[in-house]
Amino acid sequence: MFNKEGIPFFIIMIPFLSIILGALFTTSYYLKLSEENFQVDVKEYQQIYKLQKNYDNKKLELLLIKKNKEQLVREEKYQYFMLVLTSCILVFMFLFTLLMVNIINDIIKKYIKKVQNKENKLQNLNQTLSTKVATGIEEGKKKDKAMLQQSKLARMGSMISMIAHQWRQPLSEISGVLMELQMSTLAKKVDNQQILDSIKRSNSTIEFMSNTIDDFRNFYKPDKEKKNFYISEACKHALSIVDATLTNLAIKLEIEIIEDKRVNGYPTEYAQVVLNIIANAKDILIEREITNPKIHLSINCSEDSSIVIIRDNARGIEPKSLDLIFDPYYSTKDSSKGTGLGLYISKLIIEKNMDGDLSVENDEQGAVFKIVVSG
C-alpha cells in the first residue's frame, strides 16, 4: 500500500479504479439494455411481419437468425471498443500514477531536505547558544570577581578612614602625655611616679589602639558557617566600628531596642550590612550639610522574624534612584567616593545568605532601610 517514501498508492489509484468500475458498469448496463431493446424490436418485427399477406414462418425464422447475428456482431464490436478504451485508460492511469509518484516523491524529498536543513541550523544554533552561554557564565564569574575585588578595596578604604577616626583621640592622649613629660623634664620637676603614671596611661591607650585593629580585622573576616547570634550584638559590633567617626562628625546616633531576637546566620556579614547602611547615611548627611544630623536604629521582632530599621534625616532618596539603589555599580555618590557595590552586596548577604529581605523607602525626614531576617 505504501512505498519507502510513504506515498499512498492506493489513494492515488482510487480515482482511476473508480473510472474502471464505472466503465465496467456502463458496459454491462449498455449490453443489457441493448439486448432488451433488441428483443423488443424482434417481437415488434414478428408482429408486423405476421400482418403481411404473404406471411411465411420459415422466412421469418431466417430473418430473425440474421438479425441475431447482426446483433452479436454489434455487441462484439462494442465489447472490442470498450476493451481498447479500457486498455488505453489503464495505460494512461499507469503513466499518470508514475508521474504523480515522481512528483510527490520530489515534493517530499524537498520537504525532508528543508526540514533537515532547519534541523541542522537549529543544532548549530544550539551549539552556538551553548558556547555563548558558557562564555557568558565565564564572563559573569570574572565580573563577579572584579566586583568583589572592588568591594574589598572600597571596604579597605573605609576601614582605613574609620581606623584614622578611632585612633585620632588616643594619639592625641599619647601626645598629651609626652608633652607633660617634656614640660616636667624641662622644668626639672619630673619624678619616678609621674614617669610610671605616664607609662601606664600610654600603655592603656596603646592597648586600646591594638584592640581597635583586632576589632577591624575580625570584623572584615568572613564567617565560614552559620551561628546563632543576637541581632543587638551584631548591631553593636557594627556601631563600635563607626561610633568614633560619627562622634567626630557630630552625627547623633540613636539606638532603640524594643525586642531582641536570636537568629541563625552569619553575624559578621550581618554587622557589615548594618555598618554599610550607617556609613551611607553618614556620607549623605555630610554631603547635604544637614543641620542636627542624626541616625536612628531600632531593633524589634515579629512572630518569627527580626526587624531592624535604620533611618536618617537626610531628606531621603530621589524617586528615580529608589528602584535602582540596590543595582550593582549604581551610586548616587561621586565616583571617587563610592563604587556602587555596597548596597548590592548587602542585599545579596541578607537575601541569598540569610533568606531575609532588605528594602528601602522614604519617609518625611529621610531614607528608611528595613532588614528582616527569619529566626
For residues 87 and 31, give the distance between their C-alpha atoms in angstroms, rounded to a whole number: 19
94, 233: one domain: no
Q: How many CA atoms lie within 13 A of 367 on its CB side?
A: 21
Least confident of 75-89, 157-171, 181-195, 295-309: 157-171
Residue 197: predicted pLDDT: 77
Distances from the Cα of 237 to the Cαs of 16, 262, 307, 312, 327, in angstroms? 96, 15, 17, 20, 27
Percentage of the residues of the chain whose pLDDT score is greater than 70: 67
Residue 2: predicted pLDDT: 42
* Structure-model confidence comparison of residues 375 and 351, the more confident one: 351
For residues 48 and 45, give the distance between their C-alpha atoms in angstroms, rounded to a whole number: 5
Q: Given pLDDT bands bounded at 50, 70 and 90, which one contains residue 3?
A: very low
Residue 34, in any domain of the structure = yes
* Structure-model confidence comparison of residues 329 and 118, the more confident one: 118
Residue 91: predicted pLDDT: 80
Q: What is the mean pLDDT of residues 35-51?
A: 64
Query: Domain boundary at 73, 100, 124, which?
Result: 124
Residue 299: predicted pLDDT: 94
CATH number at residue 335: 3.30.565.10
11-41 per-position pLDDT tens digit: 556 666 666 666 666 666 565 556 666 666 6
322-338 per-position pLDDT tens digit: 888 888 766 666 554 55
Q: What residues make up the domain containing 101? A: 9-124
Give the residue among 162, 157, 164, 165 at the shortest CA–CA distance from 248: 165
298-322 per-position pLDDT tens digit: 999 988 899 999 999 999 988 888 8
Determine the 3-state secondary structure of 31 from DSSP: helix
245, 120: one domain: no
Q: What is the mean pLDDT of residues 157-184?
A: 70
* Structure-model confidence comparison of residues 333 and 121, the more confident one: 121
238, 365: one domain: yes
Query: Domain boundary at 85, 102, 124, which?
Result: 124
Count Cβ atoms below 10 Å from residue 193 Cβ, excluding itself: 8
Give the residue among 209, 233, 361 at the shortest CA–CA distance from 306: 233
363, 239: one domain: yes
Residue 185, in any domain of the structure = no
Least confident of 2-16, 124-138, 191-205: 2-16
232, 366: one domain: yes
Residue 296: predicted pLDDT: 95
Residue 158, in any domain of the structure = no
Overall number of domains in the chain: 2
Q: Which residues pair with 109 in a beta bridge?
A: none
Query: Domain boundary at 107, 124, 141, which?
Result: 124
* C-alpha torsion sign, points 256, 260, 262, 263: negative
Residue 76, in any domain of the structure = yes
Residue 1: predicted pLDDT: 43
Residue 170, in any domain of the structure = no
Which three cell numbers mark 256?
Answer: 532603640
CA 291, chain centre distance (Å) = 46
Which three cell numbers mark 209?
Answer: 589602639
Least confident of 49-53, 205-209, 231-235: 49-53
Residue 368: predicted pLDDT: 94
263-294 per-position pLDDT tens digit: 988 888 898 889 889 988 998 999 999 999 99
Query: Cα angle vertex 202, ends 200, 207, to 5°?
Result: 95
Residue 278, in any domain of the structure = yes
Q: Given pLDDT bands bounded at 50, 70 and 90, which one contains residue 179?
A: confident
- Residue 5 reports pLDDT greater than 50: no
210-228 per-position pLDDT tens digit: 766 665 565 556 656 788 9
Count Cβ atoms below 10 Å from residue 285 Cβ, excluding itself: 23
* Structure-model confidence comparison of residues 168 and 192, the more confident one: 192
116, 253: one domain: no
Residue 290, in any domain of the structure = yes
Mean pLDDT of the chain: 77
Residue 29: predicted pLDDT: 57
Residue 34: predicted pLDDT: 61
- Residue 178 reports pLDDT greater than 90: no
- Residue 10 reports pLDDT greater than 60: no
For residues 213 and 306, give the distance between their C-alpha atoms in angstroms, rounded to a whole number: 30
AA identity, residue 175: S
249, 366: one domain: yes
- Residue 109 reports pLDDT greater than 60: yes
Residue 187, in any domain of the structure = no
Give the list of residues 6+ apart from residue 4 with CB closer than 8 angstroms, or none. none
Give the list of residues 6+ apart from residue 71 with CB closer than 8 angstroms, or none. 34, 35, 38
3-state secondary structure 263-281: EEECHHHHHHHHHHHHHHH
DSSP assignment of 137-198? HHHHHHHHHHHHHHHHHHHHHHHHHHHHHHHHHHHHHHHHHHHHHHHHHHTT---HHHHHHH
